[in-house]
Amino acid sequence: MIRSRDDADTRVRTRRRLLQAVATGAAALALPGASRSALRSETPDLVIRLVAAPSQVSIRPGPPTQVLRFTGEVLSGRRDAVRPSESYLGPTLELRRGERVRIEFVNRTGESSIVHWHGMIVPARADGHPRFAIPSGQTFIYEFTVRNPAGTYLYHPHPDGRTGRQVYLGLAGLLIVRDDEERAVGLPDPSYQLSLVIQDRRIDEDNALRFSPTMMDAMSGVLGDTVLTNGVADAAFSVAPRTYRLRVANVSNARIYKLAWSDGGPLRAIASDSGLFDREQGMQTRPYVVLAPFQRVELLEDFAGRANAGRLSLISESFADPGGMMGMMGGGMMGGGMMGRRQGERLQIARFTIAGRSSMSSEPLTLPRAERSTPRGGRELQTRLEFRRMLGLLNGRTFAMDAVAPDEVLPLDQESRWAFVNETGGMAMPHPMHIHGVRFRILGRRGDAPTDLRDGLIDAGYHDTVLVFPGERVWVGVAPTEPGMFMYHCHNLEHEDGGMMRNCWFGARHAG
């Protein structure tokens, strides 16, 4: 059935193409071979339908919880490209590098929305900019070729001013890219890979999720009192005593995690936001790993021979809140209830029960060769991060749907140096800064990362989100490849929705 619809589709498109070719007198008609392959390249390898709609799920014992939820299905192509989730989270999309993908997003949320593929390098038209938001009842078609290397990416809604609410109520999912290069690395095979999506929520006694940010929340971002991992409270996994690949994503509105093992063992990172580290960078071993909203890290962890007789937990260690205000008000009164747990409180993320026989140790790891870096010679940009009178500002400005300032234009195919400066006045706040449509290098930091967090920063590799602490200046190297309008913003979702977001333009800027 699907096949015949495909064929019909191709026929319609063929006729349209031919008519176009006739109309323009294109030489393609004289080259049947060439024109056939041009046609073939228009047919996607994979067609997915993704629907966002109200739903109800069980988050913890007791009454079900009303959520918004993505569900998905493969309309044509690989059946294993959509892996349904058992919680409110969206299905995990598994794409392959080089694949041509069409995704039909159907909005049935009852409000305006649009989906953004966080970390993915896609054409501007497919990036999910808020100007493409569609009303409930409509469909938006995305078409792109998967350019990113193997890695752990995300998708989530991106309507102006409503992103925090829609993500909080359940709309988000993992997007995993696989490629051939990754297969040669010697990573554990798929049955020994686990994904952990970490979120925090305030859940009422009747198990309801309510999103009604207070003034305090607008400043610090919404913090929950319950950690949900893969959509459930008190998540537990049973693992074999061997090496696993763990993909960890922070999909919380505002919470920063200081990830650590309960037995004090180090964390061994093999990938950042945007793919594996290269051979020179090697595995990054840290006593703990700091993960800001929407950052990802991939770990290679051996569950064999751990202390504590078969039990291990991933926790978030306590740290001093790097945001000025919560410190000022004192942690005590924020300690629970309505306000959620304060930023920096110790939290349990996931429990692991290690059982079964130890299988042979894993293959030696051969990380990929370093990529050829893009030539420098782009622009030098600087963006001041400020938080004043409840508003996050980027060089003194807030979001405007179509505005691009001269200091927000980057050339294509050259590396520009972009500084995020969180040194100026206003309220001291950490800001996880994110840029759409690119993967960037972190070139350097200057200033004061807090002493109880800085050993957990991983600046190696490619990123799409970087945490900039109060008093800090961070330089990133950005080499866009897709032309047009993208955006950059603080990924604390309450800051983003409050307007700490701007457009940026890649390539020559057209008038108008």
Binding site for ligand C2O (CB under 6 A): 116, 118, 156, 158, 294, 434, 436, 487, 489, 491
Tokens of 66: 């009303």
Nearer to ligand C2O, 300 or 504 (CB): 504
d(CA 41, CA 36): 9
Beta bridge partners of 391: 388
Instruction: Give how far Cα 402 sits from Cα of 108, 213, 512, Å.
Output: 26, 27, 10
Contact 243, 302 (CB under 8 A): yes
- ∠344-349-353 over CA atoms, to 5°? 145
| Pairing mode, strands 139-145 and 92-96 | unpaired
Cα(45)–Cα(98) distance, integer angstroms? 10
* Least distance to ligand C2O, CB of residue 52, Å: 16
Considering only residues 420 through 459, tell me which ones interact with Cu ion, judged by CB under 5 A: 431, 436
Of 13-21, 73-81, 416-424, 493-501: span binding Cu ion (CB under 5 A): 493-501
Contacted entry of Cu ion, ligand C2O, none for residue 495, CB cut-off 5 to 8 Å set by kind: Cu ion
Least separation in angstroms between CB 293 and ligand C2O: 9
Q: What is the amino acid identity at position 286? A: R
- Minimum CB separation of residue 118 from ligand C2O in Å reads 4
Q: Which does 492 bind (CB under 5 to 8 A by kind): ligand C2O, Cu ion, none?
A: Cu ion
Shortest separation between residue 434's beta carbon and ligand C2O, angstroms: 5
CA distance 102 to 48: 6
State which residue, 118 or 439, has the beta carbon closest to Cu ion.
Answer: 118
Q: How far is the CB of 17 from ligand C2O (least distance, A)?
A: 35
Of Cu ion, ligand C2O, none, which one sits near residue 202, judging by CB under 5 to 8 A according to partner kind?
none
Residue whose CB is less far from Cu ion, 112 or 492: 492
Contact pattern from residue 104 through residue 143 relative to Cu ion, giving x for each residue in contact according to CB under 5 A and a dash for the rest? --------------x-------------------------
Q: Which amino acid is at 16?
A: R
Contacts of 347 (CB under 8 A, 6+ apart): 200, 227, 257, 315, 316, 341
Helix 32-40 vs helix 2-24: angle between axes, to the nearest 10 degrees? 130
CB of 436 to ligand C2O, least distance (A): 5
From Cu ion, ligand C2O, none, which one binds at residue 490 (CB under 5 to 8 Å depending on kind)?
A: Cu ion
Helix intervals (H) in 129-225: 163-168, 180-183, 215-220
The smaller minimum CB distance to ligand C2O, of residues 239 and 504, is found at 504
Backbone angles phi, psi at 164, to 5 degrees: -55, -45
Q: Which does 294 bind (CB under 5 to 8 A by kind): ligand C2O, Cu ion, none?
A: ligand C2O
239 lines the binding site for Cu ion (CB under 5 A): no
Helix (H, G, I), strand (E, B) or coil at 241: coil
| Cα separation, 83 vs 52, whole angstroms | 16
Residue 158, contacted partner among ligand C2O, Cu ion, none, CB below 5-8 A by kind = ligand C2O
463 binds, among ligand C2O, Cu ion, none (CB under 5 to 8 A by kind): none
Q: How far is the CB of 463 from ligand C2O (least distance, A)?
A: 13
Q: Minimum distance between the CB of residue 366 and ligand C2O, rounded to whole angstroms?
A: 31
Among 94, 105, 86, 122, residue whose Cα is nearest residue 166:
105
Q: Which amino acid is at 103?
A: I
Which entry of ligand C2O, Cu ion, none binds 440, CB below 5 to 8 A by partner kind?
Answer: none
By beta-carbon proximity to ligand C2O, the closer residue of 294 and 387 is 294
Residues near Cu ion (CB under 5 A) are 118, 431, 436, 490, 492, 495
